[in-house]
Amino acid sequence: MCLATTGPGATNLITGLGGALRDSSPVIALVFQNKLPDAGKGDAQESDHELLFESICKKYIPVRDASTVVWAMREAYRVAKTGRPGPVVVDLYRDVVENQTASYEYVDPKNYCVMPESIANDEAIDAAFDVIKANKKIALWIGNGVKLAHAQEEVKALSRLLDAPIVCTYNGICAIDTDFENLVGPRSRHGSAVTKATIEEADCVILIGSTLTAISTNRWEIKAKNIIQFDIVPENIGRHYPVAVGVVGDAKASVDKLNKKLKAESYVADASYKNYIFAKKEEWAKNLFQGAIVDTEATPVPPIALHIELQKVLRENGIFVVDAGNPGAWTHITKFPKGTTYMKPVNYGNMGFALGGFSWL
């Protein structure tokens, strides 16, 4: 929840809400507008809030009468939390707030914000299995949706069943533990050549919980074949990359269903592609972590050296907040302890995020 006054207060929210929309953070913003009779007259600090917010929130809800305020708040909560999470703006006019009252009776949110478990249908799972069975070099590409669905264990189980290497997006950092044996690392416009090769050299890429934004794909230059895409939002399936199979549903339940299918069919994995990728990763790391780039006594300290030192003070179940730009880019080489929550303004790149994020803690 956040609040802002009319005009300048509202415009100061725009960058933060844009970040929430692009990185799937549920937010309800209460914004206060001038009096209804004065709308359009050029009152002090007046601005058209609907015009300001419509492109950077899931929904804009004006409250012009107190009789609608309870509905507006419930609608805001419902829209912010369901589907792909994001920000909602509730705009309250001054005379409504000052001169009117609303009747309120508590209703449990589960009675107006229903989030049923959405499981992929049998046909999609069968089709995904057929594509997997037809290809040997399989890789997983996971995003923030794995975190939102709490699908960490299911994704790790799938990787083990397939003996498949995993690449994550930057929003997917810490979606699974960074010391997981099949995790290659993050990929975006930054990241290692090995993560790019993992995706591009695979015969089949299983994409879970990522919208494949420009940041994740180096503006859609990364190539991927025979994509099996899991997403809870149908519009995200095949949006940027054609898919072999689209699987609509909650990542946790749907990946678990695929795992059960693989076990039922006695699927036999081939570890050769994973072994090939990790041999490349070992060679990459050997060449990278040496010489001046890891000199912690240098002035200024090289970014890689800084992150090597940073790893020494990080603790399990901590929260790591990093800002836009280069400070976050170098986290592709950071090993985070188990249970770390990773926060970065990936897709909107709103600078100053880290200070606000740290203050929130």
Same domain, 265 and 168: yes
Same domain, 183 and 233: yes
Same domain, 177 and 254: yes
Q: What is the 3-state secondary structure (H, E, C) of the chain?
A: CEEECCCHHHHCCHHHHHHHHHCCCCEEEEEEECCHHHCCCCCCCCCCHHHHHCCCCCEEEEECCHHHHHHHHHHHHHHHHCCCCCEEEEEEEHHHHHHCCCCCCCCCHHHCCCCCCCCCCHHHHHHHHHHHHCCCCEEEEECHHHHHCCCHHHHHHHHHHHCCCEEECCCCCCCCCCCCCCEEEEECCCECHHHHHHHHCCCEEEEECCCCCHHHHCCCCCCCCCEEEEECCHHHCCCCCCCCEEEECCHHHHHHHHHHHHHHCCCCCCCHHHHHHHHHHHHHHHHHCCHHHHCCCCCCCCHHHHHHHHHCCCCCCCEEECCCCHHHHHHHHCCCCCCCEEECCCCCCCCCHHHHHHHHC
Q: Are 137 and 198 in contact (CB under 8 A)?
A: no
Same domain, 136 and 188: yes
- Give domain status of residue 143, yes or no: yes
- Give domain status of residue 284, yes or no: no
What pTM was computed for the model? 0.85
Final residue of a structural domain among 275, 302, 320: 275
- Give domain status of residue 57, yes or no: yes
pLDDT at site 130:
98
- Give domain status of residue 281, yes or no: no
Distance CA(238)–CA(231), nearest Å, equals 10
Same domain, 168 and 134: yes
pLDDT at site 189:
66
- Give domain status of residue 105, yes or no: yes
pLDDT at site 350:
83
Q: How many domains does the chain have?
A: 3
Structural domain that includes position 57: 2-111
Same domain, 255 and 303: no
- Give domain status of residue 280, yes or no: no
For the chain (length 361 residues), average pLDDT per consecutive 10? 92 93 93 88 87 95 95 96 92 92 89 83 97 97 95 98 96 93 86 90 97 85 96 93 96 97 96 97 88 89 89 91 83 88 84 73 57
Which CATH number fits the domain that encloses residue 168? 3.40.50.1220
Final residue of a structural domain among 55, 85, 111: 111
Final residue of a structural domain among 111, 130, 158: 111
- Give domain status of residue 282, yes or no: no
Distance CA(163)–CA(171), nearest Å, equals 23
pLDDT at site 42:
83
Same domain, 314 and 264: no
Same domain, 128 and 267: yes
